[in-house]
Structures are given as structure tokens and as C-alpha cells.
Amino acid sequence: MSTGLCVCVCAVGLFGEDLLQRGYHRDRAALAHVAEHPGATTRHVARSIGVPEGVVVRNLDRLTDDGLLVLVTNGASPALRSYRLAS
């Protein structure tokens, strides 16, 4: 029984790690796109990397909070915001 419990705990840990890495992969893809296309809008990034806009908004917000990106257009709707790399 303890072996089965260990296997279940390990599987849950690996699943959680996979979800975390998937989020980082999207962050890296969004960051790379903005690096290649300064001033790219959220919608443009989403279409380019094949991810829903809502997910890209979270990725870009996280990258902005981390100081890697700068929001160029203040006050625009999330889909029309544009970003560039931070200096």
C-alpha cells in the first residue's frame, strides 16, 4: 500500500511540474515574440504563438511584473495593449 501511495504522490508532483513548465514555455514564447516584434499587441502575440488571448494576457502581465517587458499603450483594452522589451 505504501508503494501505491508513493507512486500516486510522485505522479501528482510530475503532473504539477508539467503544468508549471507549460506556463514557462508560453512565457518564453511570448517574450521571444515581443523581442522580435517590439510594439506587438496582446492579440498579435496570441495569434502568433497559438494561445488564447486570455492566457497571453496573464503571460504578458507576469513578464511585465517581472520587469522583462514594458507596457507601451496605457489604458487600452487588454487585447490592444502593446509591449516592448524593458531597457
The phi and psi torsions of 70 (rounded to 5 degrees) equal -120, 135
pLDDT above 90: percentage of residues in the chain:
53
* Mean pLDDT in residue range 59-70: 92
Which amino acid is located at 63 in the chain?
Answer: L
How far from chain centre, in Å, is Cα 4? 35
Predicted confidence at residue 69, as pLDDT, reads: 93
DSSP letter for 59, please: H
CB 73 within 8 A of CB 81: yes
Q: Model's pTM, two decimal places?
A: 0.71
- Rounded Cα gap, residues 62 and 72, in angstroms: 15
